[in-house]
Amino acid sequence: MPELHFKGKEFVYNHHLTVPFRPLVPDAKKSCGDDPENLIIQGDNLHALKSLLPRYAGKVDLVFIDPPYNTGNEGWAYNDNVNSPLIKDWLSGNPVNGEDMLRHDKWLCMMWPRLKLLHELLSDDGTIALTIDNNEDHRLRAVLDEIFGEKRFIANIVWQSKDTPGNNSSGMAETHNHVLIYSKSETFQGALLERSEEQVETYTNPDKDRRGPWLAAPLTRAEHRDRDYYALSNKVGKDVFPPKGSSWRRPPDKMKWLAKEDRIWWGVKGDAEFPMEKKFLSEAKSGVVNQTWWPYEFAGSTRNAGAELKAIFDGARPFDTPKPTKLIQRLMELTTEVDALILDSFAGSGTTAHAVLAQNAKDGGNRKFILVECENYADTLTAERVRRVINGYKYTGTQREELLRQKLTFSQLKKANQLLDQVALIEQQNEGRFDKVKATVKDGELVVSGEKAVAKKTDGLGGGFTYCTLGDKLELDDLLTGKSLPSFAAFGGYLFHTATGQPLDPAKVREADGYLGESAQYHVWLVYRPDLDFLKSREAALTLSLAETIAATASDKPHLVFAPARFVPQKKLLELGVEHAPLPYALYRIEKG
């Protein structure tokens, strides 16, 4: 497979492995609501992603990120501490702007280790969706192909991000962004969209078939195949061949079956020379597949995103490039179930959390979110937006939510009563949510919206989150001297993940007796307190009585015990099925090995 080469790649290729572990430190004063499982983390997203591994490796269902587009105008900074003279020199060249001849290399060096960690965090059937524009989309595709694999590419969705054309010096108004979607496995199955009334009406039943309406599908392909070039007899007995240079789509045995089942349409008189296959609506899938063109009516626009932010922040727009909640809701509908875990490590204005809460309120789901934002506005903008949508925010005016948008065709107008019934059903389903449900016709479309007058404050969406910062990095020297001792949960999670490659389940941790949980190979234990005097005492040692107590808890697999010292012969430990991993030597071996 072709690879993308860029300056610094050899230095960042495995940089994600050398990023130090920093525990998450909850901040109760900045947290909000009644759902502490949601997280908003302030800190460098490279360090935050590494800190999430012990608990969330292989558990994230959808990653959505909106990284810097590297247009040359954002002024983003490259700050990764990579042990390379070349990259250390880059730190003096911040911020990265349009005059920087190496800005594409720097951007790729920034993205590479983050994408590697995001890949580790994704579940086996998880997906990643990234918004990007034409500045880096081709380079990003190459990097994603290398990290995820070409066969894991799902789609390059063209999202109409602008609903009004702007000015452009090239004479071509750029009104779209890309949404690149990759899966971690090759078994991705995207959710189907509900079939619209307009799509249903393309099915007809001119021959009054008992199986109901059907759609005529071509029976020829624009390619000649000897096997599939043969005569068919129409209803009046005339032999018909495919046009020159083409062939039938079905082999003779399959075509014979179609004819027997009356699934070939020869026209009203039965004398057509170009037969069609009848595809019945009753046999079709329950929905239609998504397309790679997402107009702003379907997925929102950047103007919609700005309006959302201004409504929440009392007319101010504290962020330049927000994404609309509708875009992320569409991605959730396409790729996840109602109990999914969604991660956004370039959180910005907090749109992803807003979208998760809004989708939960819409369909009763139990989705969770993790947001990471490194800038100082993580509290005052990112988290504050989420607080306001959870609790409600000051607003005077009319809130509107689009409930139906449908193009009107002549055939639909002949079924006006059915349309009115559909509107009435929408009104009934949304009774109590809105003051009124309003139907309007504009530019050949029927739009049904729910409207609610708000005098002082909107209704909150409910939910909550835990606000976290990043603690001191876990260093061998600091552990030896007691300068920095992490909590039992943080240290245990890190050791469990690095020893087993699996995430720690907090529900199984028993700090009282040091049990961390089990992996496929071991039951894992930790003898530890964040107290240097304890770590130097005999209490912190693996003794014979402790080893026997541990061995008695289970015999189905060996016990791996992290402890600063041991006072029991190795032979005896082997007899008990206990393996000792000395601290801090075990930490040293993990970091250096």
**Does 374 fall in a domain?**
yes
Give the chain's domain count: 4
Does position 593 have pLDDT exceeding 50, yes or no?
Answer: no
pLDDT bin (cut points 50, 70, 90) of residue 441 is confident
Same domain membership, residue 430 and residue 402: yes
Same domain membership, residue 181 and residue 79: yes
Dist CA 551 CA 525 (whole Å): 11
Q: Which of 254-268, 312-326, 476-490 has the lowest mean pLDDT?
A: 476-490
What's the pLDDT score for residue 173? 83
Name the residue with higher pLDDT: 427 or 328.
Answer: 328
Same domain membership, residue 300 and residue 259: no
Q: Can you tell me the mean pLDDT for 400-421?
A: 73
Same domain membership, residue 404 and residue 362: no
Same domain membership, residue 282 and residue 295: no
What's the pLDDT score for residue 343? 99
Residues 466, 470, 472, 473, CA torsion sign: positive
**Does 1 fall in a domain?**
no
Q: Can you tell me the mean pLDDT for 109-121?
A: 95
Q: Can you tell me the mean pLDDT for 351-371?
A: 96
Q: What are the phi and psi torsion angles at 278 (to 5°)?
A: -85, 115
Dist CA 56 CA 121 (whole Å): 6
Same domain membership, residue 112 and residue 22: yes
From 391, 416, 437, the end of a domain falls on 391
Beta strands 232-233 and 264-265 are unpaired
pTM recorded for the entire structure: 0.76
What are 318's two structure tokens? 């504290």
**Does 3 fall in a domain?**
no
**Does 2 fall in a domain?**
no
What's the pLDDT score for residue 247? 94
To the nearest whole percent, how much of the chain has pLDDT over 90?
59
| CATH code, 94 | 3.40.50.150
Inter-helix orientation angle 302-312/325-335, to 10°: 110
Same domain membership, residue 165 and residue 63: yes
Closest by CA position to 289, among listed 193, 156, 153, 199: 193
Same domain membership, residue 441 and residue 510: no
**Does 566 fall in a domain?**
yes
> Residue 419's domain spans which residues?
397-451
CA distances from 457 to 31, 411, 553 (A): 21, 43, 56
Q: What is the mean pLDDT of the chain?
A: 88
From 217, 252, 287, the end of a domain falls on 287
From 347, 373, 391, the end of a domain falls on 391
Same domain membership, residue 273 and residue 208: yes
Same domain membership, residue 372 and residue 311: yes
pLDDT digits (tens, 9 = 90+) for 276-285: 999 998 888 7
Dist CA 534 CA 482 (whole Å): 11
Same domain membership, residue 253 and residue 185: no
Same domain membership, residue 29 and residue 74: yes
Dist CA 433 CA 437 (whole Å): 9
